[in-house]
Amino acid sequence: MLNQSVRSNQFGGSLPRSQRQRSQRPRSICVRLATIATPGGPRLHVRARSGYVDAAEATGDARLSSLQYVLQAGRPAMEALRPLQHRDGREVAEADFAAAVPSPPRILCLGLNYGEHALEGGREIPTWPDAFVRGADSVLPPYADLVRPALTERFDYEAELGIVIGSGGRYITADKALDAIAGFVVVNDASARDWQRAATQWTAGKNFEGSMPIGPEVVTTDEVDVSDLAISSTLNGQVMQSARTSQMLVDVPSAVEFFSSFTRLAPGDVIATGTPGGVGFARNPPVWMHPGDVIEVTVETVGTIRNRIVAEEGAPSDWRWRPGTRRGK
């Protein structure tokens, strides 16, 4: 575990954690938002006193059927949703949950953001954030089948806390970061390690279609303090990863500050904050996800996502692009 002074020295942070994690804005909107599949398509719901309430139906505002609209509209939309949590809603089956952020404009990711994970991969603890990007088509509902791509033999799990951007912006300082965040989600940054390690860039191994389950809810910043939460993954009931978010090298406020240094964060963007040690490729022998396995990722207070691994169907058996071949020959 890296202590607070090490993290500050490496990445330039100087504010106490309590100040970095909590801004001085009014704190009144405590909401858990889920996107649920309905006969009319995916619709935004609020977790209520019991079950879930359809936001647009309950308010009479059709625009509130979309999480993206709520994030763009900001505080007024969130205030309209807040009273719904005190109602009685309907129970929802796990199979009906859509991805908590159905179509994020971007998924910005931190790699090697826990010291133990960097070391288990044979690397030094980084002195600068490692960043990469995922595409929107890589997101998956929180309880859907997770397809193991036919082109990989090394399908791995990564338990992560995800940040959902609300107002966003450029040059957002760490002490103002929570003003730019709408909430938090649980993420499994499932990775095709052979593709990831076949070249110097990670893009291919991190972007197979439907490889990043995200959910089950967007939990607003007033609902949870993410500065020191337990984070874990279990594979077929066996604990594989177990850590705390306080072990991040770049904490949540600093992650927002870092990415806003070079890009304008937009409503609906997701930041995946990296995974702790215990991933499959670093074990001896390595542990990969296979069809029939069940992978579960939990972030304390935020939630749990659970996915059964299934084989990809219909992939060409003679596809020439596979790691281990020379330039696809």
Q: Which residues of 19-57 are buried (b: 16+ CB within 10 A; e: fewer)?
A: ebbbbeeeeebebbbbbbeeeeebbbbbbbeeebbbbbe
Confidence of residue 327 (pLDDT cuts 50, 70, 90): low
> For 14-18, 204-208, 237-241, 316-320, which range has the lowest pLDDT when averaged over its residues?
14-18
Cis geometry, peptide bond prior to residue 216 (ω within 30 degrees of 0): yes
Between the ranges 2-16, 20-34, 242-256, where is the mean pLDDT highest?
242-256
Q: Look at residue 123 in the predicted model and tell me its pLDDT.
A: 84
Element (H, E) at 306: strand 303-311
Q: What is the mean pLDDT of the chain?
A: 91
Confidence of residue 15 (pLDDT cuts 50, 70, 90): very low
226 φ/ψ sector (left φ>0, alpha ψ -120 to 50, else beta)? alpha
Check pLDDT > 90 for residue 53. Answer: yes
Cβ–Cβ under 8 Å, residues 227 and 245: yes
Check pLDDT > 70 for residue 154. Answer: yes
Each residue of 173-183: pLDDT tens digit? 999 999 999 99
DSSP string, 92-161: --GGGBPPSSSS-S-EEEEES-BHHHHHHTT-PPPSS-EEEEE-GGGEE-TTS-EEEPTT-S-EE--EEE
Return all residues near 186 (Cβ < 8 A) that are at least 6 apart.
142, 159, 160, 161, 162, 214, 215, 216, 297, 298, 299, 302, 303, 304, 305
Q: How do strand 230-235 and strand 294-299 relate by DSSP bridges?
A: antiparallel
Cβ-based burial of 67 (10 A; exposed 0-12, middle 13-18, buried ≥19): buried
Check pLDDT > 60 for residue 23. Answer: no
DSSP string, 219-254: EETTT--GGG-EEEEEETTEEEEEEEGGGBSS-HHH
Q: Look at residue 20 in the predicted model and tell me its pLDDT.
A: 40
Query: Region 27-34: what's the mean pLDDT?
Result: 80
pTM value?
Answer: 0.92
d(CA 153, CA 263) in angstroms, rounded, equals 35
Each residue of 71-99: pLDDT tens digit? 999 999 999 999 999 999 999 999 999 99
Query: Region 202-209: what's the mean pLDDT?
Result: 96
| Percent above pLDDT 70 for the chain | 90
